[in-house]
Amino acid sequence: GKGMLNPLHPPQMATINETAKLTGLAKYYIRQLALNNKIKHVRAGKKILINIMQSLKWVLKQTQRNFIKSLKK
C-alpha cells in the first residue's frame, strides 16, 4: 500500500479492478460505463482510473431504480 489510508475517505480515483471490488460490478461493465462516459474517469496511459465516490453513487441510483421498479410490479 501507499502509506496509511483513512478508511472513511477512500481515494478519489481507483483502477477498474479496485472499483470492481468496491462496487461489486463486473470489470467489463465498469469499463463500459467509463467508455460511455456514464461515470467520471481519467486515462493514465493504458489505465483507466475511475472516480470511486461517483461510481458508488451511480450504483446506488441504479439499485434504487431497480428496487422501485420491482415494487411497482
Helix (H) or strand (E) holding 65: helix 52-72
pLDDT at 4 (0 to 100): 59
Give the model's confidence band at 69: pLDDT under 50 very low, under 70 low, under 90 confident, else very high: very high
pLDDT at 9 (0 to 100): 62
Side chain identity at residue 28, one-letter code: Y
CA dist 73 → 55, 62, 66, 69 (Å) = 27, 17, 11, 7
- Dump pLDDT digits (tens) for 9-43: 655 899 999 999 988 889 999 999 999 999 989 99
| Residues 12 and 50: beta-carbon distance below 8 Å | no
pLDDT of 6 > 60? The answer is no
Q: 0.85 exceeded by the pTM?
A: no
